[in-house]
Amino acid sequence: MSNFIYLSRERLIELEKELNELKTNGRKQMAQRIAEARSYGDLSENAEYDAAKEAQGHLELKISKIEEMLSKAKIIDSASMPKDKVNILCTATVKNLNNSNTYKYTLVSSEEADLEKGKISITSPVGKALMGKAVGEIAEAKVPAGIIKFEILKIE
């Protein structure tokens, strides 16, 4: 597996903005919270100080994770992807042959997946099954509940 993290340009911009916000305002607010907790007295018995320091650790961890993701980011452009087969950043309309329901999925990297928005990861069982299929082909996804068969109806 590659060390790249594939992101759309939009997601890259979102992450850069979030990182900037965390590094500036997030750290500033955290410093204020720690200073306020420190003013409450004895640090050895100060629960507010302990909570603030723990929150600071979580903030720094989040910053570190975003920085690592950005350092490995590779921008993917939907215009450069083939249009005749399901690929990352395409939207596929599929019919679940097990229950006859129709779904519309946009295939994205695991960092951008959001099932509520119809974005599924290319590394998920369904995403893996759909990748590389053309309209009319059947994809079989092995999921915890068994095997689901999808017919590719449309690729956008």
Tens-digit pLDDT string for the chain (156 aa): 457 787 888 888 999 999 999 999 999 999 999 998 888 877 777 888 889 999 999 999 999 999 998 998 888 776 667 778 998 888 999 999 999 999 999 998 888 888 899 999 998 999 999 999 999 999 999 999 899 999 999 998
Please report the pLDDT score of residue 11 as a whole number: 84
Looking at residue 1, its pLDDT comes to 43
**pLDDT at 78 (0 to 100):** 65
Tell the residue number behind the tokens 């979102």, with chain if given: 14
Beta strand extents in 78-128 (DSSP E only): 91-96, 102-108, 119-121
Q: In the numeric block, which tokens belong to residue 145?
A: 């509940």
The H-assigned helical ranges of the chain are 9-21, 27-38, 47-71, 125-130
Q: Are 131 and 81 in contact (CB under 8 A)?
A: no
Q: Is the dihedral of CA 78, 84, 90, 91 positive or negative?
A: positive
pTM above 0.85, yes or no: no
* 121 vs 130: CA distance, rounded Å: 11
* Residues forming CATH 1.10.287.180 domain(s) in the chain: 5-76
The CATH 3.10.50.30 portion of the chain extends over 78-155
CATH number of 78-155: 3.10.50.30
Half-sphere exposure of 64 (CA within 13 A, CB side): 6
Q: Which CATH architecture is the domain 5-76 placed in?
A: Orthogonal Bundle (1.10)
